[in-house]
Amino acid sequence: MTDLLTLQKSFILSHLKEGDVCADFTMGNGHDTAFLSKAVGENGRVYAFDIQPFALESTKRTLENEGCPENYTLILDSHHNARNYINEKIKAGMFNLGYLPGSGHKELTTKRETTLPAVKGAIEMLESGGILLVAVYPGHEEGALEGDMLEEYFSSISRFEMSISKFKIVNSPTSPYFFIVEKK
């Protein structure tokens, strides 16, 4: 069976190299931040965002436990404010929408009103040949609505500017899926 996490990482790795700049727009427990940190190495840069102090603490532990290079900046702010912190082009970005696993706060999720500006901002920061990966969790109401909103937005973007794909398990409608946005 296809492992979506492995597939996501293979797409990201096909675009990243040592020294690149990237962003984890929803740091959560820090697993994507650690993945990106290792992928870009000591000379790279990773910006990571979350609105929950618990996420920052959890991410710090993950980065330390995994022996990541100190190439990251952890930011306690919403992903829709990323352009206030990142003043350079990024080669890759990851969004893992939904709620923070292990926080006990399933009611605190990413929201359409901040997700769409965050994704638009990430696309503006993306350098030519860069990639964004946006994981959607339609198993809860806001997640399903976020996914529909993003699909509508992505469908409006010219295929001559970006290639946008959707990877979904067709016979499991509430399973997570993801979009890949590749800037030409």
Q: What is the pLDDT of residue 174?
A: 86
On the question of pLDDT at 100 being above 70, the answer is: no
Q: What is the pLDDT of residue 105?
A: 57
Please name the residue that has the structure tokens 């409006």. Answer: 156
- Residues 103, 27: contact at Cβ < 8 Å? no
Amino acid in position 100: L
Domains, the chain, ordered by start: 4-183 (3.40.50.150)
Interval 119-160: pLDDT, tens: 999 999 999 999 999 999 888 888 888 999 999 999 999 999
Q: What is the pLDDT of residue 20?
A: 98
Q: What order do you get walking across the sheet with 126-136 strand by strand?
A: 72-76, 45-50, 21-24, 90-96, 126-136, 177-183, 162-167
Token pair for residue 49? 């965002």
What's the chain's length in residues? 184
The torsion of the CA quartet 67, 70, 27, 179, rounded to 10 degrees, works out to: -90
Distance, CA of 8 to CA of 152 (rounded, Å) = 21
On the question of pLDDT at 117 being above 90, the answer is: yes
On the question of pLDDT at 104 being above 60, the answer is: no
| Strand pairing class (90-96; 45-50) | unpaired
| Residue 38, H or E segment | helix 31-40
Q: What is the pLDDT of residue 173?
A: 82
Interval 160-182: pLDDT, tens: 999 999 999 889 888 889 999 99
Token pair for residue 60? 């710090």
